[in-house]
Amino acid sequence: MFMKDCKVIDLFCGIGGLAHGFKLEGFDIAGGFDLDNSCKFAFERNNNSNFYSKDVKEITKEDLDFIFDNSKIKILVGCAPCQNFSSYMFKDKEKESNKWTLLYEFSRIIKESKPDIVSMENVAQLLNFKKAPVFEDFILSLKKLGYHVNYEVVKCPEYGIPQNRNRLILLASKLGEIKLIPKTHSKENFVTVNDTIGHLPKINDGEKDKKDAFHYCRKLTPLNKKRIQATPYGGSWNNWDENLKLACHKKASGKSYPSVYGRMVWDKPSPTMTTHCIGYGNGRFGHPEQDRAISLREAALFQTFPINYQFAEDLKMMNTTVIARQIGNAVPVKLGQVVAQSIKEHLIENIKL
């Protein structure tokens, strides 16, 4: 089959969420680039691939040619770290001069290495061309190079991902018109919190499940324990007595963060996983019923990592803060599969078998 002639390189690969989606669809993951060496074990172990620790500014055509080797179909994918495109960054004028560097470097690498197919995943704010002309520049560069370009904002629950996450997905191909596969889910059958974590054993804050060390949640402070006990199903800090509220929540500006210290609900997708996804005070990351924040296992499942995905060589020695950051930064594996399936269908339509 043509799949044996395809190789994928993942820029900004992290622990391999995007790459693993491609692997599950039968693609050969030729390599991944990232500056964060803490991601090396998980990326390599789960994707049967090589991790290259190198600044994107230093990646050359020769680097990619060596990794792609003699592949007939070269696929370059990546997600520049989204902190550079957050709503905060749009407001921080001091950082305007270099906040778009990574995406411009992605564009440079495409221009030099000329892969057959490109996919880029990022935050939806990039579509605001007035504030983020870099994306318009990215598209124009691809078109000048002869790529057919398609992009859209994807609502993750519409593809069976149990998480309210909106992401910008771009596909570009030199082989012909390319687009994402049709949506697979609607509100009537979204995958929910209950579908995803409802089967897991109960644990207390600060505990690990005896059969799954990765099903671990942080110990709450005595005050935060009182707070989550005072939080009803689906509620947040708005439901607390005044003596439990933080000073910032008592100000008018604090009312703009209604979901902080919130509990999830069983019959809806989870909120977006972030780098602080196992912190009770960092969002609506409270368990729907148990008096604790979600565990690492639960966060990984919301990001659609398979149950057998290995995040650390030794779970007894794992750094939970680092792993939570890695999980929050990852592209959901299922979203990676959606992109991979779209490219696979495109190849079937445009390559003579």
Tell me if 327 sits within 8 A of 14, measured CB to CB.
no
Q: How far apart are CA 11 and CA 54, in angstroms?
A: 10
Q: How far apart are CA 182 and CA 141, in angstroms?
A: 27
39 is catalytic: no
- What amino acid is encoded at 284 in this protein? R
Length of the chain, please?
A: 353
The catalytic residue among 82, 156, 217, 277 is 82
Closest CA to 183 of 163, 157, 151, 164: 157
Q: Which residues pair with 119 in a beta bridge?
A: 77, 171
Closest CA to 22 of 51, 56, 47: 47
Tell me if 122 sits within 8 A of 339, measured CB to CB.
no
Q: Which residues contact 206 (CB under 8 A, 6 or more apart)?
A: 217, 218, 219, 220
Our CA angle for 165, 84, 248, nearest 5°, is 70
Residues labelled as active-site residues: 82
